[in-house]
């Protein structure tokens, strides 16, 4: 598995994003909220992913952009946690809920917890 986050893996379709927020389920692990929806999108990768940092929580655009860069990097290095156990295609949106910027190591730990919660919830939904 390559540790890249290319154009094909990013969630850019307005239609998919609207459908995700309307019909999607969510899992929380502070500071993340993951909204997900199993949907057969046309991409070759099993996941299409988006990242959001609300302006309500982080006022300055410079800080929001830095947090999004950190989120993308944490996801890029740890996306294998999601890819290994998925059989169908999903659309993801990671929403950052904290008001302060967190360290990379803390974000990585939270993402690992979030992936475990997500996989457990997926298994429960299937059974």
Per-residue pLDDT of 34-62, as tens digits, reads: 999 999 888 888 899 999 999 999 999 99
Q: Give the chain's mean pLDDT.
A: 92
Q: At the topology level of CATH, where does 7-117 sit? A: Ribosomal Protein S5; domain 2 (3.30.230)
- Res 124: pLDDT: 87
Q: pLDDT band at residue 28, thresholds of 50, 70 and 90?
A: very high
Pairing of strands 47-52, 32-38: unpaired
∠ at Cα 40 (113, 95), nearest 5°?
A: 35
Helices (H), the chain: 14-23, 61-78, 80-83, 104-126
Name the one residue in this structure whose structure tokens are 């929580």: 57
pLDDT at residue 108 greater than cutoff 80 = yes
- Ranges of each domain in the chain: 7-117
pLDDT at residue 30 greater than cutoff 90 = yes
Q: pLDDT band at residue 87, thresholds of 50, 70 and 90?
A: confident
What's the rounded mean pLDDT across residues 63-84?
93
What is the pTM assigned to this prediction?
A: 0.91
């Amino acid at each position: 598995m390559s540790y890249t986050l290319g154009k094909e893996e990013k969630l850019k379709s307005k239609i998919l994003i609207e459908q995700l927020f309307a019909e999607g389920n969510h899992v929380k692990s502070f500071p993340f909220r993951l909204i997900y929806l199993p949907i057969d999108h046309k991409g070759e990768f099993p996941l299409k992913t988006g990242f959001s940092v609300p302006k309500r929580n982080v006022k300055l655009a410079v800080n929001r952009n830095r947090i999004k860069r950190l989120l993308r990097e944490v996801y890029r290095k740890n996306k294998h946690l999601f890819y290994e156990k998925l059989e169908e295609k999903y659309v993801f949106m990671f929403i950052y809920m904290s008001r302060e910027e967190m360290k990379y190591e803390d974000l990585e730990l939270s993402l690992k917890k979030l992936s475990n919660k997500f996989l457990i919830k997926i298994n429960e939904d299937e059974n």
